[in-house]
Amino acid sequence: MLATILIGLREGLEAALVIGILVAYLTRIDRRDVLPRMWMGVGSAAVLSLVIGAVLTFGAYGLTFQAQELVGGLLSLVAVAMVTWMIFWMQKTARTLKKSLEGGLARALAEGGLWAIVVIGFVSVAREGLETTLLLWSMVQSFGDAPAALLGALIGLSTAALLGWLLARGMLNLDLRRFFTWTGAFLVIVAAGVLAYAVHDLQEAGALPGPFTAAAPLDPATGAVAIGAAGFPFGWAFDLSATIPPGGPLAVVLQATVGFMPQMSWLQVITWALYIIVVGAFFARGAFPRRSATPAMAAASVPSAQGAS
């Protein structure tokens, strides 16, 4: 539940902040009359997210095993892409989010496009809703424990709604920059795990070479898929199933937090590591930018430059 609680908390708080900005602006300019339309857009986004979640959950039952794995792998890739984009989008636009939302509302009201208020409310929330739906669905597929995962998401979303209400009322002071920085770092790790599981699904479907296909190297002694260095590149990187039971609590916690599975293929491990290294590096550079030279150092360099001239 830990992973889905944090996902629901972060994504829910993003949506709550957006809704809070929209409501506060309309209240400040005394246009409460258009609030019902804004809420109509927000409600439509929530319904769309629920419908997509239901379709993904129940629509795959009629498919073959290979088709289910292929669909699951591809949708997990979409979820990773959306999460990655949203992490960097929030990192880049957090400072100007309020200004851009208020500007959009002001233009819609000035042009008399009251239905545009519905669209603004819908679009502002639909991004977080669709991202949350896809990410939670992918994690449920990988964990196999839908009740616990969904309960965690519900707890996270409920907590986010409460925090958003307290922030809007001025009853809570929260360092949002630090909150989104640390939860963003956590989402990078979670997305890496979802990506690794997407590779697993695609390998099971035969879309990627791996331990489930003819490309897998075999152990000459046992005839099973090779493990370790002998299994590179399309066999198993390791198999700790005897030490860490795949369905046990430790395996579930590790998979939910760092994307670790007791048995992983080389392609999964390589993909996970590359995502962490590349995306993590870009995220860290944006979250913790290098500071420029201190004023004292800059001042000390001026005389020397003048003297050289």
Question: What is the per-residue DSSP string for 209-272?
Answer: -STTSTTS-B-TTT-SBPBGGGGTTTSEEEE-TTTS-TTSHHHHHHHHHH---SEEEHHHHHHH
Side-chain half-sphere CA neighbours of 59 within 13 A = 9
Q: Which residues of the chain have pLDDT under 50?
A: 293-309
**How confident is the model at residue 99, as a pLDDT?**
82
Rounded to whole angstroms, the Cα distance separating 247 from 250 reads: 8
What separation in angstroms does the CA of 85 have from each of 184, 260, 283?
11, 23, 11
**How confident is the model at residue 226, as a pLDDT?**
95
**How confident is the model at residue 61, as a pLDDT?**
61
Span 232-243, pLDDT tens digits:
999 999 999 999
Span 247-283, pLDDT tens digits:
777 887 788 778 888 999 999 999 999 999 999 999 9
**How confident is the model at residue 294, as a pLDDT?**
47
Q: How far is CA 18 from the centre of its chain?
A: 17
211 token code pair: 């331990």
**How confident is the model at residue 144, as a pLDDT?**
61
**How confident is the model at residue 107, as a pLDDT?**
83
CA angle 209, 214, 216 (to 5 degrees): 65
**How confident is the model at residue 204, as a pLDDT?**
92
**How confident is the model at residue 202, as a pLDDT?**
94
**How confident is the model at residue 112, as a pLDDT?**
67
**How confident is the model at residue 184, as a pLDDT?**
87
